[in-house]
Amino acid sequence: MKKRNIFVLGLGRFGLALVAELTNYSDQVVAIDMDEEAVEQASKLTSLAYIADSTSMKAMKDAGIQNADHVIIAFGSSFEGTILTYVNLKELGVKNISVRCEKESYYPILAKLGVQDIISTTKIAGKRLATRIVFPDFVDYFSISGDYCMVDITVKDSFVPLKLSELNPRNKFDVNLLLIKRGKKDITPKADDQIMPNDELVVFGTRKNVSLLSDYIND
C-alpha cells in the first residue's frame, strides 16, 4: 500500500485516538496542536508531532501542510478556529480535508464554505474514519474479527474489464469476492463474470490482503 502524508490538527481525545489508529497504516502522520502537553502525548505515537497554530497560514506552510494527501481538522471546541483553519488549507491548495463538527446546526455553514467531508465523533469511530482516509477506494468498511474485515471497493473508471477467473482474488490475494454491485444490479460472482469500471466489489479478507487487491485494481 502506498504510504500517505496525513495531518491531524487538534490533539484532544479524538485527535490522539485518530493519530494512534492512523500510525497503524501510514508512516507519515503529522500531529499538530497548540497545547504542549497534547503534543507530548502525540510524540509517543508519531515522531512528527509539533506545536503550532493551525489558524496561522505561515505556521501551516512551515509545517509543510500544502503537501498533505489528507488533513483532518479534529478539534471541536472552536468553530471559528475550524473555519479559519479550513480557509487556510484551501488557500494552500490542500484537496482532501475532513472537518470535525459536533453541531448539526453548523453543517450548512460548512457546506457553504465548500466542506465536503464533515465528521462527528458521535457518529463515526476513530478506527473507521482512519480506514476511510487511508483507503479512499473503500466505499464502506466493517471490522469482523481480529484483522478480518468486509469492504466495498470501488473500481476506477479507467479500469480495463477483466474476467473474474483472470483476477482470481481468492488464490492471488487470499480475498473472497462476495458480491459485485453494478448500478442497481447485484451480481453473485462467477468465474466468467467480468469486473467492469465503476463496479463496487464486496470483499472479505484481512485488511492487508484487501488493501493489496484494491491497489492492484486501482493502481
Q: What is the 3-state secondary structure (H, E, C) of 2-70?
A: CCCEEEEECCCHHHHHHHHHHCCCCCEEEEEECCHHHHHHHCCCCCCEEECCCCCHHHHHHCCHHHCCE
CATH architecture of 5-134: 3-Layer(aba) Sandwich (3.40)
pLDDT in tens, 58-86: 999 999 999 999 999 998 778 888 988 99
Domain residues of the chain, as ranges?
5-134, 138-218
Superfamily of domain 138-218: Regulator of K+ conductance, C-terminal domain (3.30.70.1450)
The pTM for the full model equals 0.62
Confidence of residue 26 (pLDDT cuts 50, 70, 90): low
pLDDT in tens, 195-213: 999 998 888 888 888 888 9
pLDDT at res. 145: 47
Q: What is the mean pLDDT of residues 82-103?
A: 90
